[in-house]
A and B are shown apart, each in its own frame.
Chain A
Amino acid sequence: MPEATLVEAINLALGRAMQDDPDVVVLGEDVGVNGGVFRATAGLQKRFGPERVLDTPLAELLISGLCVGMAAQGLKPVGEIQFMGFIYPCLDQLVNHASRLRNRTQGRLTCPMVLRTPHGAGIRAPEHHSESTEAMLAHIPGLRVVMPSSPERAYGLLLAAIRDPDPVVFLEPTRLYRAAKGEVEDNGEALPLDVAFVLREGRDLTLISWGAMLKETLAAADALSREDISAEVIDLATLKPYDEDTVLGSVAKTGRCVIVHEAARTGGFGAEIAATIAERRLSSLLAPVTRVAGYDTIVPMARLEQYYMPSVERIVTAARGVCQFT
């Protein structure tokens, strides 16, 4: 099977979706001739023409609003926001329109759009390029929020997102774009949305994460195994709606849970998972559910960002603490 980086897998999925469905349109800043600042759309304009792969004016609100209008007309737009730090002008469109067009017209108009954006810190990018505000999006009813953590899942989940009849925000882990490599068969097969992936089975505790933090989380599971602690690792993959069954099933088995996310702790999506576990599996718990998260401060710029993001050590320490809890 051919090997691809995560960003190459995104590119393969976009090409496949455009080839399979003439209604798929890719739009964003620099997505055309330049192929996107991360090259996620490289070669697409040449293959499919400037009408289906269009460079928009530099206006993020417009990109999201165009997607709503195109989707209501039956196209399947895939908009790119160059960095998540620039997605905020789109919130009006996501909250007031994309997420509710189906509901407010009682099914008369629908909004099958995807808004893709690179997510997270760790590439020494300029200011405003490193935030993880996925919980904000996961709070919006009517949206789906999806975040892959490997090339294989990036390919399959993006195809699923584009084929989904409802709006999806697709958050791509920036620091894995080239760092993550894996085998990707460009076979047009989508992975299921709304399903978490168990990346590693274990007995003693459950580690839950999503996006780029899976890298450190899997490394932590390796380190813990050397201490004879068997960690189950779950890639949540779809944050909204998230797969409660897989999470609760795992916690029922292990009795211990550490949630790892790069986003600031307060109001982060880990709080939602912890609350669900407390509500539904309290009797299974052998230790408090613990979060390893970004600190409640502004993501620092390049010189300090490594201290902000949860490290393997912080995850291992938290996991040890949970396992030693009596």
Chain B
Amino acid sequence: MASRRVNQDLPIIARFEVRRRNYLAPDGSIQRPLPAFASDAKLLVALYRSMVLLRLFDRKAVALQRTGRLGTYAVSLGQEAVSVGIASAMREDDVLLPSYRDNGALLWRGVKLEEILLFWGGDERGNRFSGPVHDFPFCVPVGSQAPHAAGVAYALKLRKEPRVAVCLFGDGATSKGDVYEAMNFAGVHRLPLVFVVANNQWAISVPLRLQTACETLAQKAIAAGFAGEQVDGNDVVAMRAAADEAIAAARDGNGPRFIEAVTYRLGDHTTSDDAARYRSAEEVQARWKEEPIARLRAYLVAQKMWGKAEEQRLAAQCHEHVEAAAERYLATAPRRPETMFDHLYADLPEVYAAQRRELAGEHDA
């Protein structure tokens, strides 16, 4: 590691700290006093159900992709607690700006499974979804949604609305100027904006140590003038608690926050990737011991909030839900080709309307 020491005779003018938050150990045992909501069985079960549904949905999506019925797809395997935990702390009128791996957040906010499939199946209508109308769609160019989040948050602040923008991205995105420029601006204007990095240790094949020399990604917030904390991203109780605090602070006018959710991508980057090319099975195997769903289940069972009967019922419900959504997706006919022009401009200029007519097989007089 690079040396951090300058001439020790110089006076210290500023000190910074980064804290880490975790409540549940990988085996579900309690590591430190829990936040009040951890005794709310209804909430915890809702979080659990969402994570289980997401994992099952991912499995179905991959099966559809493997059988040629879906395009490239990015699974959330192992990091379900991050996007679900964050989204659960948002209000409906808050604004979500997700990356392409944040299905869990979209699901929590009311986007339908078939809409997500429609997007990954190559149909823009998937982004005209049933979630909040102001939420952004998946962002594929890594980190490029961060400046949008700053623009959204600026608009919310300008209009004095008690709403918060929440921007999700992965560890690779923290290497991009986009993210730093957005964080820097958010700091300057104390914007109601929460940045969440799902640090899953891998940006496709590039490990975190090749992204940054920093001990934590949370400390990147320090350079932008606001607080960052590291959270056990496989502990949904910690994710929810961190999100609650950060979103409340942002809503109360205390400016942006940065949450580093430490997790692990148990799956391939996408269905087009083969992670065995660049990381060992042993590494992945070890990380399975920390995954978020088994952890929460162990806690719920220990607290008598959950049992075998509930688990069986949930599995059946999720299966039915996912299968029905897949059927609706597969039954959705493609748009007519000429509709590719229909949302290009508010009013399609005549010069392109002629191309639309050509595509539609109509002939100009």
Which residue from B129, B136, B150 sits with its C-beta under 8 Å from A66?
B150
Q: Looking at chain A, what size class is its interface with the partner chain?
A: 35 or more
From A30-38, A89-97, A125-133, A154-162, give the one contacting chain B. Answer: A89-97
CA distance A66 to B150 in the complex (A): 6
- Residues B148 and A102 in contact, CB atoms below 8 Å apart: no
- Residues A62 and B344 in contact, CB atoms below 8 Å apart: no
User: Considering the complex, which residues of chain A in the window 90-129 have a beta carbon less than 8 Å from any beta carbon of chain B?
Assistant: 92-93, 96-97, 102-110
- Residues B146 and A103 in contact, CB atoms below 8 Å apart: no
B182 at interface by CB-CB < 8 Å: yes
Given contacts A62-B150, A72-B151, contact A165 B185 (CB under 8 A): no
Given contacts A106-B128, A141-B344, contact A69 B185 (CB under 8 A): no
From A1-9, A39-47, A53-61, give the one contacting chain B. Answer: A53-61
Closest to B158 in A: A51
Closest to A59 in B: B181
**Which residues from chain A contact B147 at a C-beta distance below 8 Å?**
61-62, 64-66, 68-69, 93
**Which residues from chain A contact B155 at a C-beta distance below 8 Å?**
69-70, 73-75
- Residues A104 and B154 in contact, CB atoms below 8 Å apart: no
- Residues A73 and B134 in contact, CB atoms below 8 Å apart: yes
Closest to A62 in B: B181
CA distance A109 to B97 in the complex (A): 13
A300 at interface by CB-CB < 8 Å: no
Which residue from A67, A141, A194, A242 sits with its C-beta under 8 Å from B151?
A67
Closest to B125 in A: A106
A87 at interface by CB-CB < 8 Å: no
Chain B 142-181 per-residue mask, 1 if CB under 8 angstroms from chain A, else 0: 0010111111111110100000010000000000011001
Q: What is the total of A-B residue contacts with beta carbons within 8 Å? A: 130
- Residues B137 and A104 in contact, CB atoms below 8 Å apart: yes
- Residues B149 and A69 in contact, CB atoms below 8 Å apart: yes
**Which residues from chain B contact A74 at a C-beta distance below 8 Å?**
155
Which residue from B154, B346, B352 sits with its C-beta under 8 Å from A70?
B154
User: Considering the complex, which residues of chain B in the window 318-359 have a beta carbon less than 8 Å from any beta carbon of chain A?
Assistant: 342-346, 349, 351-352
**Which residues from chain B contact A75 at a C-beta distance below 8 Å?**
155, 158
B213 at interface by CB-CB < 8 Å: no
By DSSP majority rule, is chain B's interface helix, strand, loop, or mixed?
Answer: helix
**Which residues from chain B contact A103 at a C-beta distance below 8 Å?**
124, 343-344
- Residues B185 and A73 in contact, CB atoms below 8 Å apart: no
Given contacts A61-B147, A96-B141, A103-B343, contact A72 B181 (CB under 8 A): no
Tell me the smallest distance from the CB of B39 to a CB of chain A, in Å: 37
- Residues B158 and A52 in contact, CB atoms below 8 Å apart: yes
- Residues B154 and A57 in contact, CB atoms below 8 Å apart: no
A166 at interface by CB-CB < 8 Å: yes
CA distance A74 to B133 in the complex (A): 12
- Residues B178 and A107 in contact, CB atoms below 8 Å apart: no
Tell me the smallest distance from the CB of B247 to a CB of chain A, in Å: 18
A202 at interface by CB-CB < 8 Å: no
**Which residues from chain A contact B182 at a C-beta distance below 8 Å?**
62, 65
**Which residues from chain A contact B136 at a C-beta distance below 8 Å?**
72, 109
Tell me the smallest distance from the CB of A97 to a CB of chain B, in Å: 7
Given contacts A25-B158, A65-B178, contact A73 B152 (CB under 8 A): yes
- Residues A65 and B151 in contact, CB atoms below 8 Å apart: yes
Which residue from B177, B181, B184, B343 sits with its C-beta under 8 Å from A107?
B343
CA distance A75 to B153 in the complex (A): 12
- Residues B158 and A102 in contact, CB atoms below 8 Å apart: no
**Which residues from chain B contact A102 at a C-beta distance below 8 Å?**
343-346
Which of B141, B181, B344 has the most CB atoms of chain A within a 10 A radius of its CB? Answer: B181
CA distance A57 to B225 in the complex (A): 14
- Residues A61 and B177 in contact, CB atoms below 8 Å apart: yes
Closest to A55 in B: B188
Q: List 26 A-B contacts (CB under 8 A).
A: A57-B184, A59-B177, A61-B147, A61-B181, A62-B150, A62-B182, A62-B185, A64-B147, A65-B151, A65-B181, A68-B151, A69-B97, A69-B154, A70-B151, A70-B152, A73-B152, A74-B155, A92-B141, A97-B148, A102-B343, A102-B344, A105-B124, A106-B342, A108-B128, A165-B345, A244-B351
Instruction: For the A-B complex with A69-B147, A73-B152 known, give 19 more contacts whose Cβ atoms are closer than 8 Å.
Output: A57-B184, A61-B177, A65-B150, A66-B147, A66-B154, A66-B185, A69-B148, A69-B165, A93-B144, A97-B144, A102-B344, A102-B346, A105-B128, A105-B137, A107-B128, A108-B127, A108-B129, A110-B346, A244-B351
List 6 A-B pairs, minimum CB-CB distance, nearest first: A69-B151, A65-B147, A73-B155, A69-B148, A62-B181, A66-B151
